Amino acid sequence: MRRDLTAAAQALRIGAGQGLAGWTVLAGRCLFYVLIMTVLSALWDKVAAEPVAGAIPLPKGDLVLYVLATEWITLALPSVHLRFEDDIRSGGLEPHLLRPKFYLLQSLAQSLGGTLVRLAALGVTAVAWLAATGRAGPPPAAYPYLAVLGVLAVTVGMLLYATAGLCAFWARRILPFQLVIQKLMFLLGGLFAPISLYPDWLRKIGEVTPFAAHLYWAGIQALHPSGTMFLKAAAWQVLWIALLSLLCVALWRAGLAKVLREGGV
Amino acid sequence: MSAVITVKSLSKAYRYARRRGGFFEAFSPEHVIVEAVAGVDFEIGAGERVAIIGPNGAGKSTTLKMLSGILEPSSGEASVLGLTPWKQRKALAYKIGVVFGQRSQLWGELPARESFALLRHIYDQEAAPFAKRLGELTERFALADLLDQPVHRMSLGQRMRCEITASLLHGPNLLFLDEPTIGLDVTAKAAIRDFIREHARDHGQTVLLTSHDTRDIELVCDRVIVVNQGRIVVDQPTDQLRRRFLGRKIITFQSAGQGVSLDLPGVTRRASEAHATILEVDTRLTRVEQVIAAALADGGIEDVTIEDPPMEEVIAEIYASTHAA
Amino acid sequence: MIGSLRLYAAQSAAAIRTSFSDRGNFAIQVGGMLLNDVFFLTLWVLFFAGFRSIGGWGLSDMALLFGLTMSVVGVSGVFFGGYRDMAATLLRGELDALLTQPKGLISRLLVRESIATAWGDLAGAVFVLAVFAKLSWSDLPVLLLGIAAGTTVYVSAAISFASLAFWAAGARSFARDLTDFTLLFSSYPGSIYQGAVKAIAFTILPAGFVVLAPMGMVRHPSGETLGLVAFGAVLHAGIAAALFNLGLARYRRGASPSM
């Protein structure tokens, strides 16, 4: 067990190294973050500036900060689903199966390594963007909370995409699974707007899903920082990381059993 | 004999960024220049079948890529069928056939027949001569039962037969084969070799192939160019090379008791293990069956394997002998 | 020219047949994509239920925008499906085999695959345009023209992004992100874009030319709107061809990361 974790830590380091090695791509992603924030801030500024009769009231504070956090997480996510699809569908799995370490843990750790590097780079970009546009950011005390929730949030997101990727054992292309999961992240996780703005019944559904654990809880911390909310958010995230990990392991075992039984996918 | 390929001091250098450990080093990578092909000269005449051999990374594939127009050289000249490959790639493409052993040019999920039909349009072939050619190749290569099977359901050997057929459908005069027998079993290899040799001979086709397998060279090619570290080490007819380096077999005897000891001309004992005797046989002096007969007469033999010396060893020897000379 | 089109049609037909070859899988793909589109539409229905209108845009405008986007993605996926994973294809070195053949590179890369999910987008597009977008039959010609131009821009942008793979190995997921986010930008009410943002939406990410300009043409057909749409298509096709060929020259010098 301890050796498995050491190997996973090594994979995480390799992933982080790969993330840094592709620094041109990393820089491009940061630039992209700036672009999308420019658009989304235009959207929210427009809604705030031109209230329409009969519209629901906006929450207090700058909704742009909420979107800044959710996009920070979204853009840091790895394409772990593509990697699984590639490995499973192209027979790239076999060399991994010959090794004594658990493929799933190894590849997830490696993906997470790259993700953490992106998360850090995008976080710096977010702070720089706030400074450059002259917007007031969250209070400094909120940053440590945000850092913790951000790491947990990308882990939830990575595991969600991993479940999509593992569907490659049964489906030739996992794109529809990934897109459905992505849209559920956007919808029930509240990418553009906090789910608290939804009708009450939908908000209640959204809150208990892994999609909220992926985006909403970290986003709301940027909008309304609070210690209590932090604990609640972290609890939901840890719960979903545990459940999704179990789901991934179950999918992996079922898929592997299929491969061993049928000699391929 | 007119030259089909002329190569003059052809070179290709790659520039790599070698990254060192830390974060900041990522921004100032150190550049390393690797000379994959370092000034090679050769000429290949019409109808010649030539093998380029050498260890991994010797520059075989790079040379083939430059001659087929995929890759531009760093310096030097080449003329293939009167064209400069990297400048007149498309014009050359109509006249050559190319097979990359590890890459497919067929549509995996479609029956081979449909891939062939698409290739007819890609190479602007008239229907009638194309059908005739496909008919001939189908017969020669025993493809009749395969044509309606999706390529991805074929065995590697079957797929390779289809790949080679695909590369010949437009009637090229020159064939480039990059590791055409890689990963195939003995029977499939033999079928591919016979086919390439006979087809080339009957059609006066020029063949340039790269391989790791000494048998590919012996059975298909009449001339061998050995490269190492981007340079040509040896360029001579296969016959000459066979006499000096290829006419050898490695025979391993497994025996229950003590090892086999034979006193025959041209037979030398290699480092042997318990219950296994490894002999190197110069087949010009003593034939394989003589060695085995003698060993059997000696008694106690449980198993025999006969192998060709590995390519790396042959090349090392060639390399050593040319440097000594 | 006619010969090239016939060749493309033959290859495209082969790719589509391939995508149909596994019925069960095809059904999963199409169904999954429809579900994805429904979720996305729901997001905006919810949004407009809450905020009513954004800078004068209502749900029917959003539906037209959305229907155009899905049409563009649908047509691109069915007939030019190789656009989606082009960076990966380049990095795998699959260009080598194409380079030894005399016909077409970009076209061969585009036609190498037809994406089953795209049929789901096409079905969704027809539904949304017919039910929510408040269009009449007389809008059909200009709508089709808009879809053709939008597809040209979208596929061109994907080629440009994929061409980054000639320079950086990590460009694979980045190219896909850029392509996806071009769509995301294409999915916002055009009324929010002003000044510099509008310039970005019409240039680096050609979101404006993928759907916003065609949409303007559908709502207000005129020489001016038509001109803008045509300009976008030609401009982005030109950029894509230039970037690809620049990258290709690099690849053939052996300087690309996959070599």
Question: Searching chain C, which residue's CA lies closest to the CA of residue A36?
Answer: C185
Confidence of residue B1 (pLDDT cuts 50, 70, 90): low
Q: How far is A242 from chain B (nearest CA, A)?
A: 32
Contact A23 B19 (CB under 8 A): no
Cβ atoms A37, A129 nearer than 8 A: yes
Highest averaged pLDDT of the listed ranges A60-74, B296-310, C15-29: A60-74
Instruction: List chain B residues with CB under 8 Å of C21.
Output: 109, 150
Contact of A132 with chain C, judged by CB distance below 8 Å, is answered with no
Confirm or reject contact between B263 and chain C (CB < 8 A): no
Query: In chain C, which residue's Cα lies nearest the Cα of A190?
Result: C43
For B113, which residue in chain C has the nearest alpha carbon?
C14
- What strands, in cross-sheet order, belong to the sheet with B174-178? B96-100, B174-178, B206-211, B49-53, B223-228, B231-237
Residues 85-124 of B with CB under 8 A from C: 86, 89-91, 93-94, 96, 98, 100, 103-105, 107, 109-110, 114, 117-119, 121-124
Mean pLDDT of all residues belonging to chain A: 89
Q: Does B27 touch chain A (CB under 8 A)?
A: yes
Question: With contacts defined as CB-CB under 8 Å, which chain A residues touch B30?
Answer: none
Q: What pLDDT score does A231 carry?
A: 95
Residue of A nearest to C203 (CA): A35
Q: What percent of chain C has pLDDT over 70?
A: 98
Q: Can you give the pLDDT at residue B18?
A: 64
The predicted-structure confidence for A222-233, as pLDDT tens digits, reads as follows 999 999 999 999
Contact residues on chain A for C167, CB-CB shorter than 8 A: 24
* Three-class DSSP category at B323: helix
Interface of B with C in 195-234 (CB under 8 A): none
Q: Is B19 on the interface with A (CB under 8 A)?
A: yes
If you measure CA to CA, which chain A residue comes closest to C172?
A25
List chain C residues with CB under 8 Å of A173. Answer: 25, 29, 115-117
State the pLDDT confidence band at C259, using cuts at 50, 70 and 90: very low
pLDDT tens-place string over residues B27-80: 566 778 888 999 999 999 999 999 998 877 888 889 999 999 989 999 999 999
pLDDT tier at C226 (50, 70, 90 boundaries)? very high
pLDDT at A95: 72
Q: Find the closest chain C residue to B97 by CA distance.
A: C100
What the block records as the tokens of C156 is: 């061109």
Instruction: Return the higher-pLDDT residue of B184 and A115.
Output: A115
Q: Once rounded to an integer, what is the mean pLDDT over residues B148-152? A: 86
Percent of chain A with pLDDT over 90: 51
Q: Which domain holds residue A66?
A: 2-262
The amino acid occupying position B96 is I
Which residues in C lie closer than 8 A to residue B70 (C-beta atoms)? 95-96, 99-100, 252
CB within 8 Å: B62 and C21: no
**Beta bridge partners of residue C54, listed in sequence order:** C57
**A87, A80, A258, A239: which is closest to A163 by C-alpha?**
A80
Q: Chain A residues with CB inside 8 Å of B19's CB?
A: 21
Phi, psi of A43 (to 5 degrees): -60, -50
Specify the higher pLDDT residue, B274 or B163. Answer: B163
pLDDT of residue B323: 66
Q: How many domains does chain A have?
A: 1
Q: Which residues of A touch C49 (CB under 8 A)?
A: 199
CB-closest option in C36, C46, C192 to A42: C192
Residue A103: per-residue pLDDT: 86
Listed ranges B75-89, C39-53, C82-96; the one with the highest mean pLDDT: B75-89
What would the pLDDT profile of B101-127 be if each residue is shown by its tens digit?
777 888 777 889 988 988 888 888 899
Q: What's B243's DSSP letter?
A: I
By C-alpha distance, the chain C residue nearest A19 is: C170
CA distance B89 to chain C (A): 8
- Interface membership of A47 toward C (CB under 8 Å): yes
For residue C258, the model assigns a pLDDT of: 56
Beta-carbon separation of C100 and B93 below 8 A: yes
C173: nearest CB among A55, A82, A198: A82
Question: Can you tell me the distance from the alpha carbon of B181 to that of A130, in angstroms, rounded to the nearest whole number?
Answer: 60
Give the distance from CA A208 to its chain's centroid. 16
CA atoms of B93 and B125, how far apart (whole Å): 13
**Distant-in-sequence, close-in-space partners of C25: CB < 8 Å, separation ≥ 6:** A171, A172, A173, C116
Q: What does the pLDDT read at residue B140?
A: 87
The 3-state secondary structure of chain A, one letter per residue: CHHHHHHHHHHHHHHHHHHHHCHHHHHHHHHHHHHHHHHHHHHHHHHHHCCCCCCCCCCCCCHHHHHHHHHHHHHHCCCHHHHHHHHHHCCCHHHHHCCCCCHHHHHHHHHHHHHHHHHHHHHHHHHHHHHHHCCCCCCCCHHHHHHHHHHHHHHHHHHHHHHHHHHHHCCCCCHHHHHHHHHHHHHHCCCCCCHHHCCHHHHHHHHCCHHHHHHHHHHHHHHCCCHHHHHHHHHHHHHHHHHHHHHHHHHHHHHHHHHHHHCCC
Alpha helices in B141-265 (DSSP H): 156-168, 186-203, 214-220, 238-241
Name the neighbours of C, counting chains with at least 3 Cβ pairs within 8 A: A, B
Q: Give B-chain residues touching A20 at CB under 8 angstroms.
A: 23, 26
Beta bridge partners of C57: C54
Q: Is C197 helix (H, G, I), strand (E, B) or coil?
A: helix
| Cβ–Cβ under 8 Å, residues C9 and C107 | no
Chain mean pLDDT for chain C: 87
CB pair distance less than 8 Å for A173 and C116:
yes
Q: Kindly state the average pLDDT of the residues C23-39.
A: 86
Burial class (CB in 10 A: 0-12, 13-18, 19+), A124: exposed
Residues in chain B with CB shorter than 8 Å from the CB of C102 are 90-91, 93-94, 122-124
Residues B173-203: b if buried by 16+ CB within 10 A, e if exposed: ebbbbbbbbbebeeebbebbbebbbebbeee
A117-126, B256-265, C46-55 — most confident range: A117-126
Average pLDDT over residues A209-218: 96
C167 sits in which H/E element? none
pTM of the predicted protein model = 0.76
Q: What is the pLDDT of residue B25?
A: 53
**B69 and C CB contact within 8 Å:** yes
Q: Are A119 and A150 in contact (CB under 8 A)?
A: yes
| Residue-range domain boundaries for chain C | 2-252
Report which of residues B217 and C79 the model is more confident about: C79
Residues B51, A153: Cα–Cα separation, whole Å: 57
The residues near A47 (Cβ < 8 Å, ≥ 6 apart) are: A58, A63, C51, C54
Find chain B residues with C-beta within 8 A of C17's C-beta.
110
Residue of higher predicted confidence among C75 and A44: C75
* Chain A touching partners, 3 or more CB pairs below 8 A: B, C
Mind listing the domains of chain B with CATH numbers? 3-244 (3.40.50.300), 247-324 (3.30.70)
> Which of C25, C52, C200 has the CB atom closest to A171's CB atom?
C25
- With an 8 Å Cβ cutoff, are C168 and A198 in contact? no
Smallest CA–CA distance from A24 into chain C, residue: C168
**B93 contacts on C by Cβ (under 8 Å):** 99-102
pLDDT tens digits along C216-225: 999 999 999 9
Q: Rounded to an integer, what distance in angstroms lies between the CA atom of residue C208 and that of residue A111?
A: 33
DSSP-based three-state secondary structure for B256: coil
ipTM greater than 0.85: no
Q: In the prediction, which pLDDT does B42 show? A: 95
Q: Which of B36, C49, C33 is nearest to A179 (CA)?
A: C33
Query: Are B66 and B73 a contacting pair, CB within 8 Å?
Result: yes
Put simply, whether A180 touches C (Cβ < 8 Å) is yes
Asked if A54 is an interface residue toward chain C (Cβ–Cβ < 8 A), one would say yes
Distance CA(B183)–CA(C31), nearest Å, equals 40
In this model, does residue C22 exceed pLDDT 70?
yes
Contact between C103 and B122 using a beta-carbon 8 Å cutoff? yes
Q: What is the pLDDT of residue A169?
A: 92
State the CB neighbour count (10 A cutoff) for residue B27: 10
Residue A56 above 50 pLDDT? yes
* Interchain pair A20, B27: CB under 8 A: no
pLDDT tens figures, A149-167: 999 999 999 999 999 999 9
pLDDT band at residue A32 using 50, 70 and 90 as cut-offs = confident
Is the confidence at residue B204, as pLDDT, over 60? yes
Q: How do residues C119-163 score in pLDDT, each as one tens digit?
A: 999 999 999 999 888 888 999 999 999 999 999 999 999 999 999
Higher-confidence residue of B80 and C53: namely B80
For residue A27, the chain B residue with the least C-alpha distance is: B27
- DSSP secondary-structure letter at B169? T
* Residue A59 or A252, more confident: A252
Residue of chain C minimizing CA distance to B120: C7
